[in-house]
Structure formats: structure tokens, C-alpha cells
Structure 1
Amino acid sequence: MKLRKMWFNINGADRMVVCCPEKDTLSDVLRRIGLTSVKVGCGTGVCGSCAVILDKKVVRSCNKKIKAVEEYSKIITLEGIGTPSNLHPLQVAWMNCGAVQCGFCTPGFIVSAYALLLENNNPTREEVRDWFQKTRNVCRCTGYKQLVDAVMAAAKVVRGEAKIEDITFQLPEDNECYGKPVVRPTALSKVTGLADYGEDMAVKMPGETLHVAVAQPRIAHHANILKIDTSEAEKMPGVVKVITYKDILANGGTNQMAEANLHERSTVTLPSRKILCDERIFRYGDVVALAIANTPDQARAAAAKVKVEIEQLPEYLNYLDAVLPDSIRVHDDTPNIFCLQPVLKGVALENADNVIKVLDESAHSVEGSFYSAREPHLSIEGCTVQAYFDEEDCLTFQCKSQGQYTSISRIGNSLGIPRKKLRIVNNFNGASFGWSTNAGDLVLAGAAAVAVNGPVALHMSYEEHQHYSGKRCPSYSNGRAACDENGKITAVEFDIGLDHGAYSWGGDHVIEKPVRFTFFPYHVPHVAGLGRVANTNHTFGTAYRSYGSPQAYTLSEALVDMLAEKAGIDPFDFRWLNIARLGETNINSFPFKDYPMEDMMNKMRPFYEKAVAEAKAADTPEKRRGVGLAWGGFNVTEGGTDQATIILELAPDNMILKYDTWQDLGQGGDIGSLMVTLEALKPMGVTSDRIRLIQNDTKVCPDSGMSAASRSHYMNGHATKIAAERLMNAMRKPDGTYRTYEEMVAEGIETKYEAQYLCTATPVIRIDPNTGVGDPTPAYTYVLNLAEVEVDTATGKTRVIRFVCIYDVGKIGNIDAVSGQAYGGISHSIGFALSEDYSDVKKHTNIAASGVPYIKDIPDEIILIPCDNPRSDGPFGSSGASEAFQSSGHVAVLNAIYNACGVRIYEMPARPEKVKAGLEILAKGGKIEPPQKYFLGSDLYEELENIKANPVVFRGDDMFTALGGSTDERFY
């Protein structure tokens, strides 16, 4: 290797670096000298997280070879723009405009915006958007609107039209903070580039740390393994060890990730996923070996030398192929369809066939078949883990985990380390949206640490991460809906098949979502529905925001629009007729928890009427305009087995210490925990500067549950109320004042209080596996979406020009955090509708190729209207947030496309070529037909009759205890 000494002016100072011109990129060099604000996400120049200013031009440093950089060039990184004690207006604005969420993309955006303001300190909003589009900056969390807000606010200060104080949120003097845009505690470290994410921690680990790369053959989706040859890999320079499944077994591990398939109708009898493949490859992203070496490059080079001999097996890359009668089993212990969940209501409870008669005799009916895509999460930061043995000999994982105690359960005894000796610590996390509920990357790093009995850092390229991590389950669905002559829905039938990919964990739970959220929140008297979930040889299904419900709304909100048209009723008015009113029941035969639907529609009506009028006025043959609606919503909490435990402690300096595992993946676990603690301790007058959060380290923090199921605010808030009451009761003197720490100690009074909240305050009833009757969660959230689109008839390209969301999450805890989830969820929904996909493993290797929306793909005009609807059983009146915002927005976009140009998209995503093909059919006088009714494994009514004839024993909410399980094994 030939090295070169070079001089650069970096952040105003001349610095000498030593580099390898043929190999190093600019980001390599900058990060190596400690400038870790430069984040490398995609590694291919398509995300902008690595943006720096090179000789006055914004460049993506991850694909800028150092040999192409002239010596003595001037380079600016975020470290040179502002520091914690001397912030630039952009950094202040980012913190105060809700522009900081996970924060991984923040340095790149601020650097890019800084360059813009150097050229133009008075940009319009559209000029800001054009700039970020040009610099290829991607944010997966915010939906972009707040980022433009921040630039506009900072520009005023730069121009001298405002002071820093004018764009800074001031804490209220009365300490009434709940609902206010209090700045996130971690925001300062994120806007200054000092927050250390996964790869930043790897750079800063001790020198003895070894590096791990995965051997991911990518030679088949399904094959028997005949031989794994590591001999050549072991001879590569710098290699310490190359391990396979045999090494894990030799160290006392099982090589088997723990699973809890707890649905009564699950046919899974054996855990389906190995840490390292032994006898079979089940999907394209499976790992067969780990190369451990002195440097990341050496590990990666060695991993590439691992050879695998295989015997090809039939490959089923979608649900439809896997459930054909002659398909072989993906896993030997279970049929490919491994779980079923019916839902019956009204006349169907006596006999499912009765629904057919109601459908046939109704005045109007429609039917259709729909496909929702395998949506990739596309967080900019992928898999990166450090593992080591700590001072108490605990195997410790520095990682991204959405459920730390659940991760411990998932690891189980797979590595030969007792559970009590497993410790999970969250790094700063560059978003997840659900994929990090799975601990697959943790066990890989753990296996390497055990094998060398020392610290390791696991690195995956973005392509490796893309193939390794789970995705949203694709769905194939058939449905029919009917209404009477007045437009009131009379009955529905639906059959939804979820493709859960190669592994089954979580499939027994996700299958409950379609039978809860199809036709939510309408009143439907008679229902015959079925959810099915199957293994295939594609990547496995895992959690993704609004887990399992987008597949339901894909069918139901399309059918609602189709039925409205058939009945000759405006789609808004049709929905108004059919939303549930007080006392009317959901499809699971229970009353809705809340009835905000009329209020939400009344709030939406003027936006709808304006949008329809404007679309009509702007519609041209070249640019067709349309408006689409979609109801949505999601559950709050994991149900009857859910719990959250937190600790409040009075410290010697009279600070209040809050211990919890409210995992922050960008949604705001830090600010959420602070807000509920402030509110709970409000009687004592505690201000935010007296609260210190100690979070997300299982060694010192109790199990507060997963950051999932829109549960954290609800559950942690309740637990915090209990702990705060205990602490305040202990501190309270007879005269009503409060003791200091010294007084508590002097009087022998405990200063530390743990509290657990169990999800039992509001009665819940699990979904019956035979009928679908039940009421499994104590709270819900609701959204009503409106999308306005423009369709270019020459190309078929769809542009969303405005989006309106009316929402009810109960009382808001922090408006910026809730708005951030709304904007972000809406941006994901637009991407889901139009472009996002992970079906072609050779093509969908990075975020750009997989259809991530850039800023010009998301409208700047996103209007959020909250409903003031405090919950009587929620902490401080709050319910939950986040997931409803991604439940159904995609269907509003698809319905708007149909309204604009008459092309109904039955199979997502609505790529331009698909819309164009539909326009061409219509232009020739043809009709766009739905897909032929999908074969999902058997006839719907035959399967429902078989379930009725073969009922299973329903174990209710006690099934976890009955199976020897625990709440931390529950997949949300």
C-alpha cells in the first residue's frame, strides 16, 4: 500500500493527513482524524449524510476519492460551523424547529444549508427545497418540512432581521411545558456533530478491538448447504479467526435465535432462524460465516473469500408461489401457511356463508384484489454493532435496539452466555422504524466476541444491511363490500395473505392486525374475513411503523372509494355516512374506544371542498389533478401482557434521576421521558434542568418495554405517574414542603422508587382465534388523510402537491415530537404509494434504488390538524402517537390518482410506467381490470368453515403464563 502525506485547510486550520490515494475517500480521511460529524450512511453518494464543503462546493464525501481532491483544498465540516458554546443560527433553528429527530442526517443537512446561505441568505422555500434536491440530502424521519422551516428561520438571523432569541423556544415561566415544543435533550449533541452513532463508536473503541464482516453468499434464495470452505479466508492478511455455526456450538451456544410463536393457530414447532446457516440457506441475505480481523477492510476481504457449495432448492419469492398445492415446505416443521386468524361478525358468527347472501342482496357491491409492496425501512444508518465483555464479565452490545429487554430474550442462550450476563446499551441511533426490533445483527457481533473472547465491531455495508434486515410484509388480498340504496355499508368479506418471508417470528402476531384494521373506523354490521401468513424465500417480515395495518387499509380504503362511486355518492359523504357513531361496534364486535370521527370529518370538510374545487380548476389534459381520502388509525400498547417499569431517584445534588428504557430511534424517547416526568412531578415544581435522564442500558435501567405499538408515552407515562407519586409522598413534609436529599437521608427515608404499570387499568380481551371477537388494546389513535396529486399524462409520473392530516392522539405531550412523527409517517406513506420497494434483490441495494423519496418527492404543504380529545384513562390525557400517521396515507394517494385520471392502481407501487400503461388503456377505450382473484391457499369460505369445524382452545391473556413465557418476549 502506497501512502501519501497531504495538507488540507480543514475548518480554517491547516492540517496534515496521511492517506492512501487509491483507496481512501474524503470521508475516510476526515473521520480518521476525528471529524465524525461526517456520517457515512449509504456509502454510495445517494443520501447526503456525509456532505462537506470542498472549496465552496457541497460534495458527498463518501464517494469522493481522496486522489481527486487537490492538496491545500479548503474543507468545512459541521465542526467548523458551530460548537456547543458558539452555535450557528442554523444549529439553533434545527433544534427549535423540530428538525432534529434521529439526527443522523442532521450534520449533512446543516453543512448543505450553510453552503446555501453563503450563496444566498434570502432564499425562498422552493429554493431551499431545490438546493437539498441538488445536494441529494435525504431525511427519512422528518418529512423535510421542518428542515425548510429551520433554514428559513436561520436565514432571518443571518440577514439581521431576527435575533437568536427570536428563534429559540423559551421555557414557560409557569413551568406548564406539557404539549409545548420543548427542545429534545439530545438535540445539542446532534446539531454539533458530537453525538456518536454506531460507526462513530467503532472508530472510538480501544485499539485492541477487532473487526467483523459477514460472509453473505447471495448465491441463492433457497438451497441445501453442502460445504462451507473458510480455508482461503483464514489465510488472508490480518485475519484472527473465521467462524461458522460450528464455532458457536463449540462455545456452548445453540446457534438458534429464540422465538415465541404464541398464537393458538400457529403451526410453527421449531425456531426458524439460525445465527449462522448450517444446513440450509433460506433467503438471499443469509449469513454463513463471520470473518474477524484487525481492520474492517481486512475482515471484508476475508469474508469475500468464504466459499459455499450448495444444492439448489425450489425458490418461492412471493406468497402466491409458496402456497400453491405442489410447493415444498420452506421449513420442514410447518406448512408454508403457518398461521390463520378469522374475523366473523353479525350473521357470520352463526355461519360465514350468510355474509354472501347479504352481499348479493345489497343494492350495490364492488370487489377487487390488491397487492401492497415489500416496503423497506430505508433508515440511512444500517446495521452496526460493537460487542465486548464489560467489567462484570457481561457480554455487552452497543447497538441499535428498539426493545432492549426483548433483544435479550431473542438472543436467549443462542451464544452460550446466560441471559443474566447479557447487557444491551443503545448507541445514538440513526432511525429504525421497526427493523431493529429484531436482534439478528446483535447475535452476529456477539458470536464474534465470544469466539475471540474480546471486543469486536461488526460492520455491514448498506447493501449487506439491505439484504440482511427485515421488511414490511407484502400482502395479497381479495375483498368485496356492499351497501344499501342509501349508501350504508351492509357487509364485507376479505381474505388477506401476508408474505412473512424466510422466518416466522412475529408472524403469529402481525396476522391479528388485518382482522382489526380492515374497514377501521367504520361500522360494518356483517363481516367474514381471514388473515393468513406464510413463509417464502424472500427476506423476513418484521415490524415497520403501523405494523400490519397498511396492508388492511390497502384493501378497505380502496373498496370504500369504489363502493362510493358505484352508489353514486361523493367519497367524503360516503365516509360520513359510514363512520362509526357512539356505541356502534368495530369488526371485532366491540365498541370503539373513542368516537372522534365526526369531529375529524367536520375539520376535514373545508379542506376537502377547497381541494376539490382547486383540482377541478387546475385540471388539464396534460396535468390531471385529483383528490383522495383515506381513514386510518392504530392501536396503542401491546395489550393485556404489556408492562412498563421505571425508576425515579432523588440524587445528592437534588437532581431527579429518571431510569428507563424508552429507546429513542428518532421518535423522541428522550423528550418523551422528560415531558412525562416534568408533568408527573409538577406539584413539586420541578423544572427540566433538575431532571437527568439515564436511559437505555439494561445494566442500570429497568424494562420499560419496546419502543413500539405506539405504547411508550402511554405506558411510560403511567409508570412515571406512579413513581412520582411515591417519591413526592416520601419527600413531602407535614407542612406541604418537600425534603432535600440530605433531609431524606438524615431521616432514613428511601430516595429511590421503582414503579411498574401493567396494562390492566382498561379491560382488554385478546382476539379470539376462532372468531376474531375481542378488544385487545386499551387505547387507539385515529387519522383522516387527504392527498392532492398531479399526474403527468405524458409520463405517468405522480406528484403529491398537498397533504392534509386530521389526527387524534389524545392530549399531546410535545407538539414537535408528534408533528415530527406525522410528517415522517406521511413521507413514508407517499413513498410506499409511489416508489418504495424491496422485491428485486439485484436492484434494490440502496436507498435510492429502493425508491426513497427525496425532498421534491414530498410536498412542502403538509397540513396537520390535531383534535383536542383528552383520554380519561391515558396519562395526562394522552394516548399514543406515531404509527397511525403511516397507516393509510398511501391509499389516499392511490385514491387521488384514480380521481385525477381514472387509473386505479391495484398493485403497488404506483410507478410512472404503471400509471402510463393505465392511461394508454383508457385512451384506447379500454377498462382497467383488477388482478384476477388471488389464490391464497384455499377458498375463503371453505377455510372459515374448516376453522369453525376445528376450533382451538382459546387461552386468552393468560397464554403467556401458560406457555412459560414472559412479557418481554411479546412481539408488538
Structure 2
Amino acid sequence: MMRLKKMILNINGADRMFICDPERDTLASVIRRLGLTGTKVGCGEGVCGSCSVILDGRVVRSCVRKISDVDEYSHVTTIEGIGAPNYLHPIQVAFMHAGAVQCGFCTPGFIVSAYALLRQNLDPTREEIRDWFQKHRNICRCTGYKQIVDAVMNAAKVMRNDCALEDIMVKLPEDKEYYGKPLVRPAALAKVCGVADYGDDIELKMPENTLHAVLVQPKVAFHARIKAIHKEEAERMPGVYKVVTAEDVKGPNRVGFFTFSPRTLATGQTHPIIAEDKIYNYGDVVAFVVADTKAHAQDAVKKVTIDWEQLPEYKTYLEAVMPDAERIHEDHPNLWSEQPTVKGAGHDTPSLFKEAPYTVEGSFYSSREPHMNIEGDTIQAYWGDDGLLTIHCKAMMIYTHIGDIAEATGLPEEKIRVIQNPTGSTFGWGVSAATFAMAAIICLACDDMPVALSITHQEFMALSGKRAPSFSNGKLACDNDGKILAAEWDCGLDHGSYNEFGDDLITRPARFMFFPYNVPNCLGLTRVACTNHNYGTSYRGYGSPQAYTCSEALMDMMAKRIGMDPFEFRYKNIARPGDTNINQYPFREYPMEKMMDILRPIYEEVKERAAKESTPEKKRGVGIAWGGYNVTEGIFDQCTVALELLPDGRIAKYDTWQDQGQGGDIGALMTTLEALKPLGVTPDDIKLVQNDSKICPDSGATASSRQHYMNSKAVAMAAEQLMNGMRKEDGSYRNYDEMVVEGIPLKYEAQYQNPEDRTLKYLDPNTGKGNPVPAYTYALHMAEVEVDTKTGKATCIGYWCIDDVGVIGNVAAVDGQAYGGLSHCIGFALTENYDDVKKHTSLAGAGVPTIKDIPDNFNLIHHCTPRNTNPFGSSGASEAFQSAGHMAVINAIDNACGVRIFDLPAYPEKIKAGLDKLARGEEILPPKKYFLGSDFYEEMEYIKDNPKTDLFEDMFPEDKAETYEPIVVE
């Protein structure tokens, strides 16, 4: 018999009576059930601090505080008790105006924690603020923490009466020149007040007849044959509506599959939404228990068991490509696609290496990096009153998700509606529609009842895709003057158990190896294989960090080999006008020399200081790395938006610029203001209507640093049409009533397609020659690291980044993407990993960086080269900041203590082992060359002798592909 308890707590100044289950309820679950959903539950394990509340004067993590351990009549303060939208606290104002709000999921917890700090200390130092958040385990995955500390410092000034509230607020320019200014995000107000409803909040507020689904993950093996699923006992449990298995799926039970390369051997989608006859990785789902409450479903999950037969397991690329390895998927070999890169001497590069005065080579590994967003994955599915199956989720590419859900369920696309919930970030995994399709399948299998699917952090860590690990063998040759002669690489990507986008991923190392240097001759091969670990999926920087792990290490190794400063070696070899990239085309822009000129004095100063402050116990060093990334998805990319003049005189902007925390709302606002500038509009004149497929056109994915660039193109086109309709003969503009009277349309939809730019050319499947995107971003990274020689622990104590992303639309948003992306780089270098499925199950176990792991000495310098292919001169932002920064940290470790880390992450024990080797007088050598599936030279000869026809050659002929003028920085 369940025994409940009546309690009273004083919450936000008022006594609140409630009934609870003392055995199951936490303080967080009670608070949320009372409607105070500003208290967010992220990890559910007391690690992230998003659930922070003040209990009797102390900050506590309410998700792990059992209600039975809370004294009756205790005083509780939640975010709702600090300030409301119409009565903001200075801390909330400061967070909004300092750019400290991105996805916003962790924001209420930070504000509550900061409120408690400032009640004790109204004049904290920056380090005291950092110590406070470290102590109370407030984790942010988006911001890199610096802007959060800025916000607390600003709020403290106001609360001390050192300045007025207005002094810390962003002021709108009187001249209405908004573009580039740090305007506050439209969604920030709801987020700082805790009234933005994320997925779990929406689930809590759904109708009473909503069913709740919990997934069944046996977690028994990485590879196994399912002999039987026993669900009978679970179906007899209280409240259970159904146990859904693959047999209940009315459609193909697969997400969509698109072939990118003629060298792809996979013939179709290998990713079952619900496991059918086999388990392919440890986190595979074999069933869902669907019940009247989440608690009933969770109880019943424990009663589902399976009979299974062990199959051979290949947990890494190196295991899966061995000649005696069995096929994981019957329809294709484990090594299933490859992309060559051949330039200059190409197949004759071995002779250049034989004759070169200097050569270096090494083998490098980058880890299976988990995204570790604070909000988990939660989806709702129901049939709407419009007759559409409606999916609420953390969408990144709404219209592609519709296709994937249709593929999985067998429903026609026109019967599916996808809406993006307010999203606590995905950093890329949201491109995979597997969990979104799960909710749709469950709804259809449960007699079309509304369904809420919520996935815990541990379940999601096991289930979701990760950054694909890479194994690379690389070589570099230079002449006596330190100029690069040739490069070779063989890169293998571990794409895990499923294939989607794997043959697209391999094009990134084929483009970003040794970017942005002048490499006159190269021979490279990038391969992808399936294994029995988590499948590879998108993650900010998609495919480029794997390339830079190899090439930026070789650049430092060569500098050491020839006795040249790493900065000077790079300066000598950066591309300059006339030089081409490894894909045989001019660089889109040439800002590299100017960016290095900006960094040079800073580099010299930091290098000198690090040398002075280095001690035998705490050694300091400086490392640099070049990075960058493409903008847009290339020849297939399109963006559609609409503008509509409304009766109240405002203009509605319709798009699917999915906000993952990067600022899809502020991006849409800034580009629309700029496009409509002749009308003299202000931010209040723009109404954003976003991310609902029923009412918004397809603006494409929030990926590939594309939305700002593509939306700029499309909104400029739509704005021109609208203003042409509004414009009178005398040059003034019609209002809404005049437009209606004259019968002039009020709404204009415009689509921009990248194929209209005939400078684009997809990578050739035989040589890698190509020019697939219209713009790039550039980032020059520098890290200062301190190594504790007793323990081997490395700490990044300073970071600098010079970037060029074109004309910036909103500087606060770009700063946020920079700090956030760079903080991921530091984590990627030092702690982040999902390899051990039992150890790396939590945010802490997988190595999420805390505030004290990220330096407060965090510095951004924006260098601007206006892009001549964009109406506002903008490019893209985000992914350049998470491309190569990890190698600045790794190179700094080597500079500090002489230990070169060849396999990420640089755990203390790895560095300590290297220090011990050096102490014994031993040399630190690269790992033995990896076997990646066949002899590199033989494979390249095979590709040469067996050419494939470009899948897109007829669509985009090469004779129209070299007409652009690259940008040169004077």
C-alpha cells in the first residue's frame, strides 16, 4: 500500500500545502508539481545545479534532496520568488544584458545560486564567484561561464548602489543601426524568470489522459541476437497501457538514409528505431513501457527481460576493420565508404618525402566526445485538432525530421507536424530524428493516444550519437626554409553502429586537414567504418576536430623538428593570395596573415610570462592551433522565409531558424531589422513566428554554421518583395489598410538556393577536388596551460581566439558561441569522453568541465572581413570556435612539459606517464601506425585505377565552378 504524507513548506514567502510520496518524491518533484517549473531537472543526479533552490538559507540541489529529508515549514526560495517578467531582480536583468543566457536551461539555477551568494557578499571578486559556482556545482554547457561571472559582477554593482540598473543594460542605438550590436535575445526574459517551458515542463502540463513512455534498454551487450522479449509481467503492472516493441511498428521502423558518395557501399538505413532481431550497441532500445504515469512506467520497465545470444563485438574502428572481423550489418562491409584527397604531385608524394630535408609523422586518436547538454531528451506526440500527428521535440532540422518520422512510421509527410520546444541545447545530436520518431511510433501503437516520452540522462548517454572517434596516421615534409612540401594522411572515422551521414562526415577531414595552410602536394584518404559502439552524429565542428587532431599536432612536431617557433612556422605556411586549399581551389578569403599579426604581440607576451612563472612543480606553456569551418551545407542547401505585414503595423517573420541556444531568435531579429532598414523598423516592430512546420516555411537545418548566412540571403529577397509592394510612387510606404484597399498582397515568401551560386562544386570522389560551400570561417586559437608535475593534471589558465566570421550580426551572440565552443574544446582536450559505458554515464563521469576547469582569462578578438557573397557581409559563426581549439591545449601541454599527447583526452595519468618517461631519459614516441583497413598506398592506387562518377556532376558542371573572386585582406 502506498502511504502518502501531507506537508507544508513556506515557498517564496507563502505557506504551501501539498501531498507527497515520502518514499519517491524529491524536493524538485514537489516544487514542479506545484507549478513552479522554473526549477529545472537536468541530470537528476545532483551534478548540474539546474535544480538549485534555497532551502532555509542554503543553496541545495533539489533533484537529490528527498522530501523525507526536508523539515516541515522549511523556507524555500525558487527562481519564481526572485523576480517576475514585470518585476525583474537586478540579477535577472544582468543575465539578460551580459549575454549570459543562451539555451537558458541552467539559467534559473545559476540565478538562484547567485542570489544566495549576493545575500552573503555584495562585493565578490570574480574568483569568489567562480569558487561559489564550483562549490554549488552549477554547470553550464553553453556559455563558457565568463559571461555568467560578468552578469553577477554587474548585478552586485547595482545592488551595492554603485551604479543604476540602466547602466548595465544594453542601450538601443538612436540611429536604428542595430546590426552588430548586442541586442538582448527575445527569449531571454522568459528564461531568466524560469517561465520558458522546456520539454519536461510541457509534459507536466499536458492533459490528464496523456500516456507516459519509458524506454527499455537491456544494456547487456554491445552486439547480440534477440531471441525473445518477455513483457507479460510488465503488462500486468499497475497503470500499464502497453509494452511497445518492434512488432507494433506499422511502418519501416527506420529513419531516412541519403547517399552522399558513389564510393558508399551501404545500400540503405541500418538504424532500427526499436531493436528488431539484434542489438547493435549497448544503449539500443528493445521496447517502451507506456503507462498512465511515468512512475508506473518506470516500475514496469524493471519487469521486461530478454533472452539473447552473444555476437562478436567490435568496439573500435581498429577492431572492426581487421580482415577477420565479421560483418556487423549483413548488407555491407564494416568499412563502408572513403574519400580521397589528391593534390599536386598526389600519388608521387612518397618521392617528395624521400627527398625532403625534414619529415615528421605520427598516429593520433580523438575520442568519442559526448554532447552533454544539461537538458535531457523529451518528446511529446499527439494527434492535433487539425488532423496532423504533432511531434514536439528538440528539433534541429524540422522538415528533415518530418521526412524521417514519415520514413519510420509509414505515415505520409503531409500528415506530420513538427514543433520545436524551447530547447536546452543539443550541440548537434538534434539532427538525428531517432527519438522523435520513437514518440510518433508509440503514439500510433497506443491507439493514437497522446504520449510523452522522457529519457533520463543515463539512458540518453547510452542511447544517443556521439562525435565519431578518429584514428589518423599523418606525415608532413618541409624544405630547409620551413616551407611545407607535402602532406599525407590516412584517417579512419568510427561511426558506431549506424550509418546516417557517415559518408558525408568523411568529406570534412578531406577538406580541413591542414586548413588554412598552403600545402602544394598532398595524398590523403578518409575512411568510415561501423562498430558496435554509439553511432556517430553531428556535433559542433562536425568532422573538423578529427582532422585538426592530426594536422595541428604535425605542425607543432615539425616546428620542433626544424627548431622553429611554432608561431613562426605557421606564419610562414599560412595560405596567401594565389595559394589553393587541399581541394585545389582558392581559399574563399585570405585573412590569415592579418589574424596572425594581431596575435603575435599577445603570443610573445604570454610566452614570456609563462616562461617566467613556470616552476618545476607547476610548468607552464603556450600552444597555438589554426582552425576554421565551412558555412552552409553546400550545393543542396536552401533557405525559405516569409514576411507579412500585420494589421497593427508590425511585420511577422516566419522561419525555422531552430534555436538550440545559439540564438535563432536574435539571429532572425537582427537579419530582419537589417533587411527592412529602409522602413525604419525597430525591434518592437518585428514579430517572430518560428519553428512550427504548419505555419513556418523550411529554412533548413541549424547546422553547418549556415542559418545566419542563408537566412540573410532569403530575408533580403523577401524584404525586397514586401517593400516593393509597400512602396508608393513618391518613395514613401503604404500601411496595412492601404495595402488591403489596393489589393496588394501582405505576405511574401522567398527561397534562396545555394545552387544559384555556380561557384560550387562537390568533392570529386576520385581526387577530392571541389569547392562545395560559398563561405568559410577562420579561428586562430592560443591556450596557456599549467601542468602539475606531481599528478600530471593539466589546467587551461588562459585562452585567446582571433576569429573572422565576416560582419557580425549580434556581437553578444557570437561571443556566446565563441566562449561556449572554446570551453568544449578545453573539455575535449582534457576530460570529455564516452568510451566506458559504465563509467561515463553521467555528466561528471563523462568529464563535463566545471567553471574552475575553464579559464576566466578568456579573450576574444573579432577580425572582420566582409563576405562578398552575403548581402550583409556576414558569414557564419559557432563551429570555427569548436574546430581546433583542443589542439591549442594539447600543444601547450607539450610546450609546458615536453609531453606530446597522441590520444585524447589528455588525462593526468597519460601526462604523468610521459613525465616519468622523460625523467628516465626515454623518448616519447607516437603510437604504432594504425591499421585502418588496407595499406594506404595500395588503397589510393585502387581508387586511382577504379574511378567513380560524381553523383552530382550533371547537376553542377565543373565548367561553371570557378567564377568567384576570393577576398584578400589588405
Taking structure 2 as the reference length, what is the TM-score of the superposition?
0.98
Task: Report the AA paired with residue 363 of structure 2.
Answer: S
| Superposed CA offset, 1:771-797 (max 9, x none) | 001110000000000000000000111
Partner residue, 1:310: 308
Deviation at 1:762, TM superposition (A): 5.7
Partner residue, 1:781: 777
Match of 1:505 among 500, 504, 510: 500
Task: Report the AA paired with residue 771 of structure 2.
Answer: D
| SS, match of residue 800 in structure 1 | strand
Task: Report the AA paired with residue 270 of structure 1.
Answer: G
Asked if the contact 2:761/2:956 (under 8 Å) is kept, the reply is no
Partner residue, 2:293: 295
Deviation at 1:644, TM superposition (A): 0.1
| SS, match of residue 754 in structure 1 | strand
Deviation at 1:462, TM superposition (A): 0.6
Partner residue, 2:273: 275
Deviation at 1:958, TM superposition (A): 5.5
Partner residue, 1:220: 221
Asked if the contact 2:758/2:956 (under 8 Å) is kept, the reply is no
Q: Which deviates more, 949-958 or 436-445?
A: 949-958
Deviation at 1:302, TM superposition (A): 1.6
| Superposed CA offset, 1:804-843 (max 9, x none) | 0000000000000000000000000000000000000011
| Superposed CA offset, 1:593-637 (max 9, x none) | 000000000000011001110011001100000000000000000
Matches within 5 A, 1:19-34: 19-34=20-35
Task: Report the AA paired with residue 175 of structure 2.
Answer: D
Partner residue, 2:838: 842
Q: State how far apart, in whole Å, the 2-side matches of 1:41 and 1:175 are.
A: 40
Asked if the contact 1:768/1:956 (under 8 Å) is kept, the reply is no
Asked if the contact 1:546/1:634 (under 8 Å) is kept, the reply is yes
Asked if the contact 2:760/2:956 (under 8 Å) is kept, the reply is no
Matches within 5 A, 1:4-19: 4-19=5-20
| Superposed CA offset, 1:165-187 (max 9, x none) | 11111111111010000000000
Asked if the contact 2:784/2:799 (under 8 Å) is kept, the reply is yes
Partner residue, 2:823: 827
Q: State how far apart, in whole Å, the 2-side matches of 1:299 and 1:936 are.
A: 44
Name the % identity: 59
Match of 2:452 among 445, 457, 466: 457
Partner residue, 1:533: 528
| SS, match of residue 777 in structure 2 | strand
Does residue 407 in structure 1 map to residue 401 in structure 2?
yes
Asked if the contact 1:262/1:959 (under 8 Å) is kept, the reply is no
Q: State how far apart, in whole Å, the 2-side matches of 1:729 and 1:44 are.
A: 56
Partner residue, 1:160: 161
Task: Report the AA paired with residue 653 of structure 1.
Answer: D
Matches within 5 A, 1:127-276: 127-249=128-250, 253-276=251-274
Match of 2:365 among 368, 371, 382: 371
Partner residue, 1:115: 116
Taking structure 1 as the reference length, what is the TM-score of the superposition?
0.98
Deviation at 1:270, TM superposition (A): 2.4
Asked if the contact 1:342/1:770 (under 8 Å) is kept, the reply is yes
Partner residue, 2:920: 924
Which 4+ residue blocks in structure 1 deviate beyond 3 angstroms?
A: 957-961
Partner residue, 2:567: 572
Match of 1:888 among 880, 884, 888: 884
Deviation at 1:655, TM superposition (A): 1.1
Match of 1:863 among 859, 865, 881: 859
Deviation at 1:414, TM superposition (A): 1.9
Does residue 592 in structure 1 map to residue 608 in structure 2?
no
Task: Report the AA paired with residue 808 of structure 1.
Answer: D
| SS, match of residue 414 in structure 1 | helix
Q: State how far apart, in whole Å, the 1-side matches of 2:773 and 2:919 are.
A: 49
Asked if the contact 1:262/1:960 (under 8 Å) is kept, the reply is no
Match of 1:560 among 555, 560, 565: 555
Asked if the contact 1:289/1:303 (under 8 Å) is kept, the reply is no
| SS, match of residue 956 in structure 1 | coil
Task: Report the AA paired with residue 554 of structure 1.
Answer: T
Q: State how far apart, in whole Å, the 2-side matches of 1:849 and 1:75 are.
A: 30
Partner residue, 2:89: 88
| Superposed CA offset, 1:384-443 (max 9, x none) | 000000012111011101111111122233213211111100110000100110011111
Deviation at 1:929, TM superposition (A): 1.2
| SS, match of residue 806 in structure 1 | strand
Asked if the contact 2:261/2:950 (under 8 Å) is kept, the reply is no
Deviation at 1:271, TM superposition (A): 1.2
Partner residue, 1:965: none
Task: Report the AA paired with residue 724 of structure 1.
Answer: A
Asked if the contact 1:424/1:697 (under 8 Å) is kept, the reply is yes
| SS, match of residue 775 in structure 1 | coil
Q: State how far apart, in whole Å, the 2-side matches of 1:152 and 1:722 are.
A: 43
| Superposed CA offset, 1:922-952 (max 9, x none) | 1111111111000000111100000111111
Does residue 674 in structure 1 map to residue 669 in structure 2?
yes
Partner residue, 2:461: 466
Q: How many pairs are equivalent?
A: 954
Partner residue, 2:377: 383
Q: State how far apart, in whole Å, the 2-side matches of 1:563 and 1:482 are.
A: 8
Q: State how far apart, in whole Å, the 1-side matches of 2:47 and 2:644 are.
A: 45
Match of 1:493 among 488, 492, 512: 488
Q: State how far apart, in whole Å, the 2-side matches of 1:583 and 1:455 are.
A: 60
Match of 1:428 among 422, 427, 432: 422
| SS, match of residue 799 in structure 1 | strand
Does residue 897 in structure 1 map to residue 890 in structure 2?
no
Structure 2, unaligned runs of 5 or more: 958-970
Deviation at 1:957, TM superposition (A): 5.8
Q: State how far apart, in whole Å, the 1-side matches of 2:938 and 2:269 are.
A: 30
| Superposed CA offset, 1:884-922 (max 9, x none) | 000000000000000000000001100111111110111
Deviation at 1:459, TM superposition (A): 1.0
Asked if the contact 1:53/1:77 (under 8 Å) is kept, the reply is yes
Matches within 5 A, 1:669-748: 669-748=664-743
Q: State how far apart, in whole Å, the 1-side matches of 2:635 and 2:274 are.
A: 35
Match of 2:646 among 630, 651, 654: 651
Task: Report the AA paired with residue 735 of structure 1.
Answer: D
Match of 1:943 among 933, 939, 946: 939
| SS, match of residue 143 in structure 1 | coil
Deviation at 1:289, TM superposition (A): 0.6
Deviation at 1:856, TM superposition (A): 0.1
| Superposed CA offset, 1:225-260 (max 9, x none) | 1111111111111001111111113xxx11122211
Partner residue, 1:602: 597
Match of 1:392 among 383, 386, 393: 386
Q: State how far apart, in whole Å, the 2-side matches of 1:838 and 1:413 are.
A: 29
Task: Report the AA paired with residue 795 of structure 1.
Answer: T
| SS, match of residue 137 in structure 2 | coil
Deviation at 1:959, TM superposition (A): 6.7
| SS, match of residue 640 in structure 1 | helix
Partner residue, 1:755: 750
Does residue 661 in structure 1 map to residue 656 in structure 2?
yes
| SS, match of residue 292 in structure 1 | strand
Deviation at 1:654, TM superposition (A): 1.1
| SS, match of residue 642 in structure 2 | strand
Partner residue, 1:548: 543
Q: State how far apart, in whole Å, the 2-side matches of 1:794 and 1:262 are.
A: 49
Task: Report the AA paired with residue 417 of structure 2.
Answer: R
Q: State how far apart, in whole Å, the 2-side matches of 1:700 and 1:400 are.
A: 18
